[in-house]
Amino acid sequence: MTLTDLPAARAQGVPSYPLIAAAAAQAGLVIQGALQPRRQPVQRLDGGTLVLLGTAEGFWPAFKSSPEFIDGTPDPVDRWSQRVVGTLAGELGGTAFFPFGGPPHTPFINWALASGRFFTSPSQMLVHDRSGMLISLRGALHFKQEFDIPPPPLADSPCRSCGTRPCLSACPAGALADGGPYDLAACHAYLDTSAGAGCMTGGCLARRACPLSSGAGRDPEQTAHHMRHFHPQ
Is the predicted pLDDT of residue 220 greater than 70, yes or no? yes
Q: What is the pLDDT of residue 46?
A: 95
Q: d(Cα 97, Cα 106) in Å, to the nearest integer? A: 7
User: b vs e for 72-87, b when ≥16 Cβ sit within 10 Å of the residue's Cβ?
Assistant: eeeebbbbbbbebbee
Dist CA 127 CA 207 (whole Å): 9
Whether 156 is in a domain gets the answer no
**198 has pLDDT over 70:** yes
pLDDT at site 231: 86
Whether 155 is in a domain gets the answer no
pLDDT computed for residue 233 by the predictor: 73
Q: Does position 5 have pLDDT exceeding 60, yes or no?
A: no
The contacts of residue 29 (CB under 8 Å, 6+ apart) are: 53, 54, 55, 56, 59, 84, 85, 138
> pTM here?
0.93
Does any domain span residue 154? no
Structural domains counted in the chain: 1
Residue 90: what pLDDT? 94
Question: How far from 15 is each of 46, 85, 117, 225, CA to CA, in Å?
Answer: 18, 15, 21, 33
Q: What per-residue confidence (pLDDT) applies to 92? A: 95
Residue 166 lies in a domain: yes
| Three-state secondary structure string covering the chain | CCHHHHHHHHHHCCCCHHHHHHHHHHHCEEEEEEECCCCCCCCCCCCCEEEEEEECCCHHHHHHCCHHHHCCCCCHHHHHHHHHHHHHHHHHCCEEECCCCCCCCCCHHHHHHHCCCEEECCCCCEEECCCECCCCEEEEEEECCCCCCCCCCCCCCHHHHCCCCHHHHCCCCCCCCCCCCCCHHHHHHHHCCHHHHHHHHHCCHHHHHCCCHHHHCCCHHHHHHHHHHHCCC
The yes-or-no verdict on residue 13 having pLDDT over 70 is no
Assigned domain for 201 exists: yes
Going from the C-alpha of 78 to that of each of 75, 94, 134, 139, 194, the distances in angstroms are 5, 19, 17, 9, 29
Q: How far is CA 208 from CA 15, 80, 118, 212, 228, in A?
A: 35, 25, 16, 9, 16
pLDDT digits (tens, 9 = 90+) for 116-156: 999 999 999 999 999 999 999 999 999 999 999 999 999 99
For residue 3, pLDDT beyond 50: no
- Provide, rounded to the nearest whole percent, the portion of the chain with pLDDT above 90: 87
pLDDT at 39: 96
Per-residue pLDDT, 86: 97
Q: In which domain, by residue range, is 45 found?
A: 3-149+162-230
Report d(CA 229, CA 206) in Å as an integer. Answer: 18
Judged against a pLDDT cut of 60, whether residue 17 lies above it is answered with: yes
- pLDDT tier, 7 (very low <50, low <70, confident <90, very high otherwise): low
pLDDT recorded at residue 192: 95
Q: Is the pLDDT of residue 2 over 60?
A: no
Residue 83, pLDDT above cutoff 80:
yes
Residue 14: its pLDDT value, please?
A: 72
Structure confidence by residue, pLDDT tens digits, 29-77: 999 999 999 999 999 999 999 999 999 999 999 999 999 999 999 999 9
